Amino acid sequence: MASPTEPSKPAPRELRFVQDVVNSLDIELVADAWSDASGLSAWLSAQGIERPRATERDWRRAVCFREALRQLLEANNGRRLDPEAMAVVAGEAARVALKADLHDHARATLVVDGGGVDAMIGRVLALLVVTQADGRWERLKACANDGCLYAFYDPTKNRSGRWCTMRRCGTQHASRVYRSRRRASPQAP
C-alpha cells in the first residue's frame, strides 16, 4: 500500500484533500492520524483549517464522516452504495453552512462558513458537488482490497482501476483467486 503522505495514485489538486481525509486512517498499518481529538486537531491545523481545535464530539463526528466518505469511494469502485453512509453525508450537508462566493460574473466557489471540523466537512462536500458536476468524483475510489481500502485516483481512460497499487493489492487479489481456483479444481493423479 502507498504511504498516506505519498499516495501511489494521487488525486488532482482539488480532490487531493478528500483523498487525504480518507487516507488519514491507514487500515493496513492500523495507523490513524485522527486517533483522538488532539490527533484530529493536529491534522486540521496541518491542513490549514481555521480554528482547528477539536472536541471529543467533533472527533466522533469526523471519524463517522470519514468512514461514510470511504464507503462512497467504495461505491465508486463498484460496491453497493450503503444507504447509512449516504444518510451520514446528507446529514452533514444539512448541518454545515456552505455558501456561494461569487468572484466575478464567470466564477463562483462553494465555501464553508466556519472552522474546525465544520470547515473540513464543508470543504469535502463542496469538492464532492463540484467534481460530481465535472465527472472527476467517480475517479476517486477506495481500493478493492478489503485489507487496504486506501483512497486513490483512477487515471485510466475507461475508469477501470480497482487497486491503489497493482503491484501490491492487485497482486494479492490475483494470488487469492489463483489459490482459490487451485483448491476448487480436482487434482490430477
CATH number for 117: 1.10.3300.10
What are the backbone dihedrals phi and psi of residue 130, each rounded to the nearest 5 degrees, phi first?
-65, -45
In 23-153 the beta strands, taken as DSSP E runs, fall at: 25-26, 31-32, 98-104, 107-112, 140-142, 151-153
What was the pLDDT predicted at 1? 43
| Tens digits of residue pLDDT in 12-45 | 888 999 999 999 999 989 999 999 999 999 999 9
Which cell is 141 given?
A: 475510489
The pLDDT-based confidence of 3 (bands split at 50, 70, 90) is: very low
Average pLDDT for residues 106-118, to the nearest whole number?
87
Is 94 a domain residue?
yes
Domain membership of residue 78 as a residue range: 13-184
CA angle 134/140/144 to nearest 5° reads 145
Antiparallel, parallel or unpaired: β 151-153 and 140-142: antiparallel
* Most confidently predicted of 56-60, 111-115, 129-133, 143-147: 56-60
What are residue 107's DSSP bridge partners? 104
Least confident of 28-37, 84-93, 144-153, 159-168: 159-168
Of 34, 29, 57, give the one whose Cα is nearest residue 47.
Answer: 34
C-alpha span between 122 and 116 (Å, rounded): 10
Give a yes or no: residue 82 inside a domain.
Answer: yes
Q: With 80 as the cut, is the pLDDT of residue 90 above it? A: yes
**Pairwise CA distance, residues 18 & 124, whole Å:** 6
Average pLDDT over residues 112-133: 94
Mean pLDDT of 67-87: 97
Asked if the structure places residue 1 within a domain, the reply is: no
Please check whether residue 45 lies inside any domain of the structure: yes
Residue 6 lies in a domain: no
8 located within any domain: no
If one counts the domains in the chain, the total is 1
Which one, of 159, 106, 142, 132, lies nearest residue 124 by Cα? 132
Does 189 fall in a domain? no
* Residue 127 located in a structural domain: yes
